[in-house]
Amino acid sequence: MGMGKINITSAKEMLKKKKGSSSATDCVKKGHFAVYVGKMNKRYVIPLSTLNHPLFKDLLRWVEEEYGFDNSEGCLKIPCSEDYFDGLVSLITST
């Protein structure tokens, strides 16, 4: 599905735009990005390589289909449960 590449590209572009400004992505070490998850917007800092993993791409597609991407706040928000996200990231980074 071609839409996944557009979504991931949009997320990467959003992160690049914020790189030079004072934002929520400050203090993120090179090769990582910040994402906010769940109702409480818990901040996670995860490797950029995560964006290329098929499971993470599926999550981004689901988020866009269900909620759309609103970049008005300048950060990437994923409205899934923190437990689900923890498990997904653990699975991705362990492989």
Using one digit for the tens of pLDDT, what is the confidence trace for 63-72? 888 877 766 6
- DSSP of the chain, one letter per residue? -THHHHHHHHHHHHHHHHHTSSSTTTTPPTTEEEEEETTTTEEEEEEGGGGGSHHHHHHHHHHHHHH----TTSS-EE-S-HHHHHHHHHHHHH-
List the chain residues with pLDDT less than 70: 1-26, 70-73
The confidence score (pLDDT) of residue 27 equals: 78
Total structural domains in the chain? Answer: 1
In percent, how much of the chain has pLDDT > 90? 46
Q: Which domain holds residue 8?
A: 3-94
